[in-house]
Amino acid sequence: MSLLRLCLRELSHHPRFVMIFLLNAAIGLIGLTAVENFKTTFNSVLSFRSRALLGADLTISSRGIIPPEELAKAWSSLPTPYQESRSITLFSMATSEQESRLVSVRAIEKNFPFYGELIFDDETTHPNLAGAFLADNEVWIYPELALVLGIKIGDQLKVGDGNFVVKKLISQDAQQAFQEGAMALRLYMNHEGLKRAGLLEFGSTFNERISFRLEDAYVDRAEALAQEINKKLIDPGVSVSSAKDRSEQVGRTLNYLNDFLGLVSLVALFLSSVGLFYLYRSYIHRRREDMAILSCLGLSKTKIFRLYLLHLLILGFCGVLITWIFCLALFPLLSTLLAQVLPFEMPAFAGVRPFLLSFVVGVIGNLLLALPLLKPLLAVRANQVFQNYEAQNDESWLSSLLLGLPWLIFYWGLSVLTAQSWIIGSSFVFVFIAVSLLVFPLGSWVLGKISFLGSNAPLSLKLSLRTLSRFKFSTLSLFLSLVLATLLMTMVPTIERNLQNEISGPGKDKLPSLFMFDIQEEQVDKLKKLVAAEGIELKGVSPMILSRLVSINNEAFVRESDEPRTREEEQEFRIRNRGVNLTFRSALDASEKLISGKEFSGIFSGNFDEFAEVSVEYRYAKRVGIKLGDTLAFDVLDMPVKAKVVSIREVRWTSFMPNFFIVFQPGVLDLAPKTFLSVVPSLDHETKSKLQREIVSSFPNVSLIDVGQLITRVMSIMEQMSWALKSMALLSMAVGFFVLYSLAQHQMTQRERDITLLKVLGLSFNDLRKMVRIEFLILGFTASLLGAFLSLFVTWFFAFLFFDGIWTFAPMPLIYAVVCVSLLCLIVSEVATRKSLAKGAQSLLQDAL
Amino acid sequence: MKILFLPLALFFFLNPAFSKTIVFVGDSLTEGYGVAKESAYPNLLPALFKERMEKEVVIVNGSVSGSTTASASSRFRWFLRSKPDILVLALGANDGLRGLSLPESQKNLEDVILLAKAEKMKIVLAGMLMPPNYGDDYRKQFETLFKDLVKKHELIFIPFLLEGVAGVKELNQADGIHPNEKGHKIMAETVYKILGPLL
C-alpha cells in the first residue's frame, strides 16, 4: 500500500478530529494573512501620502547648481528606469501695480510633482491638468499673494525683468514646507519663465533640485537609496532626501509605524505559529499509539516518519487552502467595514505576499517542525507508548535543540523577512526563546510541586491538580502557548498606547495657524493687545536667546579647526558651531514630561559663580551626549554662563507650540538681549487674513508664517497613522483571542476521552464540571498573568530598542488580557464539558481519537 | 622731559584701559555662524591690528544670527555698558532677504546711529547687497538705504561687507550664504582697511 493511500485512509478515519484540527490551524493562519495584508496596505497608503510632501521618492538638491559629478553619483546609484524632474527654488520680489512682496519662486517641469498634486481654486489639478501646463509668461500663485498684491486671475505681475500673467490660484499645495517658501508665499513658473525673469546670475542664491520617481518595485528602497547616495557624496552642500526626511515628525512617526507594523506582523506570525506548534505537537502525540502499532506490524521507522510527514504536509496544505478561501471572502468585507471608520480608502488586497506567507508558515514551517516532533516519538518503544509514557522525557535537551535548530533558523529568517528589519526580527526571536526558556523549567518545577498540594483537597480540585501534573508535557505545552499568546496579544496594544501618546496632536482647535518670530521685547505687550482686540489669546510666547554651547563637563563642544574635513565631519563641525537657542521659564509646559531629574528649584540666585539650572530635551541630549548632572558652559553674547543639567525632559513636538532643546531657570538670562516667538491659535480664514494684515502693518519687523495648512496636512497624516496603529492593535488582539480559543478548544477535544472515562467510572456530572473548570481556570489565569507580566518587560525592551524609549506603564491592556483569557478558557471548557457530558459514553469513546 | 614722555607714551600704548573698544552689532555674518567664535572676522581683527599697526583693540561682538535691524537698538543699549569707541553696524541683510519694509529697516538703523552719535562714537556702517534673484529694482532700493544713511549722517562706510567672498564657493559654507573660515579672513581684511585709520 502506498504511503499516500495509507495516509489518506488514516485521515479519513478521524474526520471530526481532522476537521477541528484544520479549522483551528486556519484560525491562526487567517489572522496572520489578515495582519500582513492590512499592514502592507496601511504602509503603502501612508507612504504614498508622506511621499506627497516631497512630491517624489527621493530628491538630490544643492544650494546653487548641483555639481555634475555629484549628480552622476545619484544617476548611477538609482535602479533604472526612473523618471526625473528638475526644479529651481529662490526668493524674489513680485510687484503688482500697487504692491511689492517677497515670494518664493518655484520653477518646475510639466511632470512635477510625481506624488500629490496642486489643486486650484477652480477645482482643476496639476499634473492632471488636461494639456494645460504653464506657458512661459504665466504663473500660478497662492490666493493670499493675490490678496496682498491686489491682483486677480488674468492680471499682470512683475518678477525680476519679466512680466507674467496670473493663470491660476493654488488652493492646496502638498509640497508646502517649513523650510523653503515658509516665509514667503509661493509662485510657480516654468523654467523658460525663470530665464525671462533673469533671476539666475552670478551671486544669485537658489536651490536646484532633481526629483526622482522610482519604479514601484523600488519605492520601498527610497530611504536606503538616499542614505547610500549620501554616503558617496563629497560636496557638503549637496544632499539626497527621501520622503521621510521632509518632515521630521512625519518621518519619525513613519519609522515608528514601520517598526510597530513589523512587530505586529511578528506577533501575528508567532501567534499563528504558537497555535500551529501546539496543534501539531498534540496531533503527533495522539498518533504515537498508531506509530507503535505500525512499527510492531513491521513498518520501518523511516517509512513511519515519511507517513507522518505526509500527514503534516496534507494537513498543512489543507489548512492553508481553507485560509486562502476564507481570506478571499473576508478581506473585501473587512475593507468595506474599515472604510467606514478610516479617514482614507483601503484596498482589500495587498498582493500575494500575505498569502505566500501563510503558505510558508502553514506548509514549510510544518515540515521543519516534523523533525523535532516526530523523531523523539519514533525512538520510543511500543510497550512504553501503551504504558502512557511521555516520550519526550527520554530526550536530552541537546538533541531536542539540535533537532529543532533548522526550525529555529527558519523562523529567525522568516521573522527578519516579515518585520523587514534584521534587528527587529532577531530581537523578537531572542525574546521569544528567552521567554520559552524561562517558562518551561519554571512551569515544570511548579507542576512537580502542585500534585502534593491537593492531597487533602476536595475531589474535583485533587483531580484537576493531578491531571495537570500527570500530563506534564502536555500541560506545559498548553501553558507555554497560553503565556506566549497572552504576551503577544498584550504587547501590541501596550506599545500602541505608548505611541499614540507620542503622535497624537492637541486637537484641531488648538493647532496654531500663524507662527511669529523676531518679536522684540518691547513689542510683546503691544502685540498681545492687538491680538486680544480680536478676541484671541497669543500662545507660547517664549524668549529666545542665541548662545554657543562651549563645553560639556569641561570638554570642548565647539571645534576650532580649519583642517580639510570629510563631508560628514564638515557637517558635524558646522552644526557644533552654529549656536544653540536658549529660553527660560519657571516650570514645565503642558506639552512636556520630566523623564529624569527634578523641576527647577526657583529663581536663580544671581551669583554667576554658581551653576544655573537647565533642563535638556532627551533626544537632543542623546544626540549631543548630555546626561543628567552634567555641567555645561555657554557663551551668551560674550558672557560666560555655567549651568548644570537638573532634568531631562520629553517634548511632545506634535503640540506644534514653540519649544527649545535647552531651557534655563528664570533669573539667568532675563537681561540678555533677546527676541520672542509666539503662535496664534487656529482661526477662520477671514480673521486670520485680517490679523495678518494688522500685524504686518503695526509690527513690520515681525516675521509671520502661515503654518495652518501645513500643520493640518501633517496632522492628517499623523491621524491616519494613529488609525493604522489602533486598527492593527485591535486586529492582533482579535487574532490572539482566536488562537487562544483554538488552543483551549483543542485541549478540550483531547480531554474528552478522560472525561468520558471518569464518567464511566461513576464521577458525578457536577464533580466533572468542577474539575475541568478548575483545571482550565488555573491554566488560563496563571498563564495570562505570567504573559501579561512578561509583556511589561518585553514592551519596555522594545520601546528602548525601537521607539526612542517611549514607554509608560499602561496596566489596563494587561488587566483586560488576564480577565479575558481566564474567562475565555472558562467558557470554552464549560461549553465543551456540557457537550461531552450530553453525549453518550459509547460515542465519545468511539470518536475521541 | 624726554625721559618722562617715553614711559607715559608706553603706558598709553600698552595699557588696555587706553586701547580702543570696538563693538560690532550685526547678524550671522558677523556673529560667525557655523565657524568657531575665534574664526569670526571681528575676532581676527585684534591680531591684524597688533601685527600690522601694533595697536591693541578690544572687540565686543554683539551679533546674533538671524537678527534684523529691529533688535539693533535694544542690543546696542546693552553693549553701551562696555563704553565702546567705535560702532560697526553690520545689520540689514536679514531685513532684505526676508523682504521686510525697507523704510522701516532704515529707521531702525537710524535709531542706533543717533544713539551712537549721542555717545560721541565713531560709526562704521557695513553695507550689504541683495543677490540678483531679488530683481534689479529691489536691489537698487536696498543699496540706496545704506547710501542715504551714510550721506545723511556722514558715516564711514564699508560698501560691501562680503566683497570678494559672496558667490565664491570655496569661501562659503555649504549653504552658499555664510562665509567659512577663509571667507572670514577676507572679511577681516576688508574691515581692517576701514577701521585702521580710525585707531
Each residue of A333-350: pLDDT tens digit?
A: 877 876 666 656 667 777
The minimal CB distance from A205 to the residues B69, B71, B176 is found for B176
Q: Does the pLDDT value for residue A172 go beyond 70?
A: yes
At A185, is the pLDDT very low, low, confident or very high (cuts 50, 70, 90)?
Answer: confident
Contact status of A97 with chain B (Cβ, < 8 Å): no
Amino acid at B4: L
Supply the mean pLDDT for chain A: 81
The pLDDT value given to residue A61 = 92
Domain B2-198 -> CATH class: alpha beta
Amino acid at A22: L
Most confident segment among A226-235, A392-401, A748-757: A226-235
Mean pLDDT of A185-196: 93
A-chain residues within 8 Å CB-CB of B131?
A: 203-205
Task: Supply the residues of B annotated as catalytic.
Answer: 28, 175, 178
Which residue on chain A is closest to B92 by alpha carbon?
A: A701
Q: Does the pLDDT value for residue A560 go beyond 70?
A: no
Task: Round to whole Å and give the CA distance between A526 and A750.
Answer: 80
The minimal CB distance from A203 to the residues B32, B38, B167 is found for B167
Q: How far is A109 from chain B (nearest CA, A)?
A: 20
Q: Does the pLDDT value for residue A539 go beyond 90?
A: no
Inter-chain touch A91–B133, beta carbons under 8 Å: yes
Residue A158 and residue A139 in contact, taking contact as beta carbons nearer than 8 Å: no
Mean pLDDT of A236-253: 74
At A262, is the pLDDT very low, low, confident or very high (cuts 50, 70, 90)?
Answer: confident
Contact status of A521 with chain B (Cβ, < 8 Å): yes
CB-facing half-sphere around the CA of A445: CA atoms within 13 A: 6
Query: What values do phi and psi take at B157, rounded to 5?
Result: -125, 130
Mean pLDDT of A208-219: 91
Lowest mean pLDDT among A171-185, A198-212, A233-247, A344-358: A171-185
In the sheet that B156-158 helps form, which strands lie side by side, from edge to edge? Answer: B57-61, B20-26, B86-90, B122-126, B156-158
Interface of A with B in 197-236 (CB under 8 A): 197-206, 235-236
- Note the helical H segments in A533-617: 567-576
The pLDDT value given to residue B4 = 43
Mean pLDDT of A369-393: 64
At A173, is the pLDDT very low, low, confident or very high (cuts 50, 70, 90)?
Answer: confident
Inter-chain touch B132–A102, beta carbons under 8 Å: no
Write the ipTM.
Answer: 0.84
A-chain residues within 8 Å CB-CB of B141?
A: none
Each residue of A475-523: pLDDT tens digit?
A: 787 788 788 888 887 887 888 777 776 666 666 667 788 888 889 888 9
Task: Round to whole Å and give the CA distance between B111 and B125.
Answer: 13
pLDDT over 70, % of chain A? 87
Q: Does the pLDDT value for residue A559 go beyond 70?
A: no
The pLDDT value given to residue A138 = 95
Amino acid at A803: F
Query: Pairing mode, if any, of strands B156-158 and B122-126?
Result: parallel
The pLDDT value given to residue A383 = 64
B-chain residues within 8 Å CB-CB of A574?
A: 34, 173-174
Which residue on chain B is closest to A522 by alpha carbon?
A: B74
Inter-chain touch B166–A102, beta carbons under 8 Å: no
The pLDDT value given to residue A636 = 87
Determine the 3-state secondary structure of A173 from DSSP. Answer: strand
Most confident segment among A151-165, A389-403, A458-472: A151-165
Size of interface A-B (CB pairs under 8 A): 140
* Higher pLDDT pick, A32 / B119: B119
B-chain residues within 8 Å CB-CB of A199?
A: 132-133, 135
Residue A182 and residue A705 in contact, taking contact as beta carbons nearer than 8 Å: yes
Q: Does the pLDDT value for residue A391 go beyond 50?
A: no
Task: Round to whole Å and give the CA distance between A76 and A71.
Answer: 9
Inter-chain touch A578–B34, beta carbons under 8 Å: yes
Q: How far is A161 from chain B (nearest CA, A)?
A: 7
The pLDDT value given to residue A95 = 92
Q: What is the pTM of this model?
A: 0.67
Mean pLDDT of A29-51: 78
The pLDDT value given to residue A216 = 84
Sign of the CA dihedral with A149 first, then A151, A153, and A158 last: negative
At A561, is the pLDDT very low, low, confident or very high (cuts 50, 70, 90)?
Answer: low
The pLDDT value given to residue B117 = 94
Inter-chain touch A700–B101, beta carbons under 8 Å: yes
A-chain residues within 8 Å CB-CB of B100?
A: 700-701, 703
Residue B120 and residue B88 in contact, taking contact as beta carbons nearer than 8 Å: no
Q: Which of B68, B69, B133, B184 to mutate to test the interface with A (most CBs of A within 10 A)?
A: B133
What the block records as the C-alpha cell of A176 is 508646502
Each residue of A594-632: pLDDT tens digit?
A: 889 999 999 988 777 789 999 999 888 988 889 999 999
Inter-chain touch B100–A184, beta carbons under 8 Å: no
* Higher pLDDT pick, B58 / A127: B58
A-chain residues within 8 Å CB-CB of B104?
A: 700-701
* Higher pLDDT pick, A160 / B12: A160
Mean pLDDT of A679-700: 84
Per-residue pLDDT tens listing for chain B (199 residues): 444 444 444 444 445 446 889 999 999 999 999 888 889 999 999 999 999 999 999 999 989 888 999 989 888 988 887 889 999 999 999 999 988 889 999 999 999 999 999 999 999 999 989 999 999 999 999 999 999 999 999 999 999 999 999 888 889 988 888 999 999 999 999 999 999 998 8
Q: How far is A543 from chain B (nearest CA, A)?
A: 13
Residue B92 and residue B116 in contact, taking contact as beta carbons nearer than 8 Å: no
B-chain residues within 8 Å CB-CB of A160?
A: 133, 135-136
